[in-house]
Amino acid sequence: MFDIHKIRSDFPILGTKIYGKPLVYADNAASTQKPQRVIDSITDLYSNHYANIHRGVHYLSQKSTALYESARETVKIFINASKVEEIVFVRGTTEGVNLVARSYLEPLLKPDDEILISEMEHHSNIIPWQLTAERTGAKLKIIPFLENGELDLSTLPDLLSPKVKLVAVTHMSNSLGTINDVGLIIERAHALGIPVLVDGAQSIAHMPIDVQELDCDFFVFSGHKIYGPTGIGALYAKEKHLLTMLPYQGGGDMILSVSFEKTEYNDIPYKFEAGTPNIEGTIGMATALNYVSDLGIESIDEYEQDLLAYATKQFSDIEGLKIIGTAPKKGSIISFILDGIHPHDVGTIMDMEGVAVRTGHHCTQPVMDHYNIPATTRVSLSFYNTVGEIDKITKAITKVKELMG
Ligand code: PLP
């Protein structure tokens, strides 16, 4: 069902050696590697079909436009949005959140209104709301998490009130691995008429996403975390919201007509796509989504859950290693600390063994504060990782202990 050798051969970089040792790439939560199909799709665009989109009458412009718009259709299908008009191309998750903060929320906020986020958010899903709060006098409220890294949803009845104008929460934590019950949060928020933004930066590559079933108001993700290029992502927003929202940036392509007296904005989603967009990025991202669909996101999920279970068991057997984030529902991320050894030393020594992991606060400083630690070492796995690689990671950690312990 899952031909790991064939899959690995789709990713040219996985054959690389680091310091003479075969690369073990376990930094997938930061960014994923790219299959040849994605690389080829961008080369093909530049070699055969490239021109600026939307405004040209000539053949290549129309060809590029058709590819760009079919990428939007691919995103729509991948997350099961009901209309292509609900898909806005953005630079990535960060820009998607900033767009919603600026164009949707800010005009609605009054002093003392509230924005509800969680304690495990990535900085990208904290700072845009802080900026909005500073500009409007609104307040940021926080859903706390428990010691195992699970959100404490028993706090919701107290936190959700008519003062809350938006809930913004991550679907899967990039530092703890926790998969949050966003369906329940959405249901509770909607009961009070409060819209919900889901940060799908991590979840998009690891589980099926159905925005209609979730009933979220906004969903954001980045192409580079799902085997596509950097600098491209998508914002899904319910049509009713996009229709009322103001443009995020001004420029070409987002207008119907311009005069010095009055500008009429373009229809959605173009109203939110000012300037020449990342055409090659959308095409690379759509190719990546099709690649993932061909493998089957359910099969990916199942395979990665097996890897996660195996790695969790192997790591737990290492004396002095403590896993940070042990919620019952997790994606394939394991953050850990090693007794008396700084994560940066851990990462540096593991690198010498060919193992790429991330160390630091993972742009989730409040999570580090919660555990009173400066940083963790994070192993984040993808469907192209193998049980053999987990053994190599385990050996590399043991080596760190030998050298530093
Ligand atoms: N949200 C989460 C949960 C993430 O893991 C990340 C990236 O690590 C982001 C947001 C920001 O994504 P990007 O830097 O692609 O905009």
The CA 106 to ligand 1 mean position distance, Å, reads: 22
Q: Active-site positions? A: 363
- The rounded Å distance from CA 95 to ligand 1 centre is 10
Residue 223 contacts residue 281 (beta carbons within 8 Å): yes
Distances (CA, A) of 52 to 61, 234, 252, 279: 6, 20, 12, 8
Q: Which fold, 39-294?
A: Aspartate Aminotransferase; domain 2 (3.40.640)
How far is 394 from 51, CA to CA, in rounded Å? 49
- Report the C-alpha gap between 376 and 368 in whole angstroms: 8
The residue to mutate among 31, 32, 100, 122, having the most atoms of ligand 1 within 8 angstroms of its beta carbon, is 122
- The closest residue, in CA terms, to atom 5 on ligand 1 is 174
Mean pLDDT throughout 321-334? 98
pLDDT tens across 60-119, in order? 999 999 999 999 999 999 999 999 999 999 999 999 999 999 999 999 999 999 999 999
Given a cut of 80, whether residue 1 has pLDDT beyond it is: no
Q: Where are the beta strands (DSSP E) in 293-343?
A: 321-324, 333-338
Dump pLDDT digits (tens) for 9-40.
999 999 999 999 999 999 999 999 999 999 99
Pocket test of ligand 1: the residue of 120, 202, 364 to mutate, having most ligand atoms within 8 Å of its CB, is: 202
Which protein residues touch ligand 1 with a CB less than 6 Å away?
92-94, 122, 124-125, 170, 174, 199, 201-202, 222
Residue whose entry in the numeric block shows the structure tokens 């990916």: 300
Fold exhibited by the domain 4-30+296-404? Aspartate Aminotransferase, domain 1 (3.90.1150)
Q: Judge contact between 100 and 219, C-beta under 8 A.
A: no
Cis peptide before 144 (omega within 30 of 0): no
Atom of ligand 1 nearest to the CA of 170: 3
How does pLDDT run across 48-75, given as a tens digit for each residue? 999 999 988 999 999 999 999 999 999 9
- Which of 363, 364, 376, 378 has most ligand 1 atoms within 8 Å of CB, for mutation? 363
Q: Where in the chain is the domain with CATH 3.90.1150.10?
A: 4-30+296-404
Query: Which residues in the chain are classed under CATH 3.40.640.10?
Result: 39-294
Atom 4 of ligand 1 has which residue's CA nearest to it?
A: 201
Hey, which residues does 329 pair with through a beta bridge?
Answer: none
The encoded tokens of residue 285 equal 């991202």
pLDDT band at 405 (very low <50, low <70, confident <90, very high): confident
Q: What is the pTM (predicted TM-score) of this model?
A: 0.98
Q: How far apart are CA 178 and CA 200, in angstroms?
A: 13
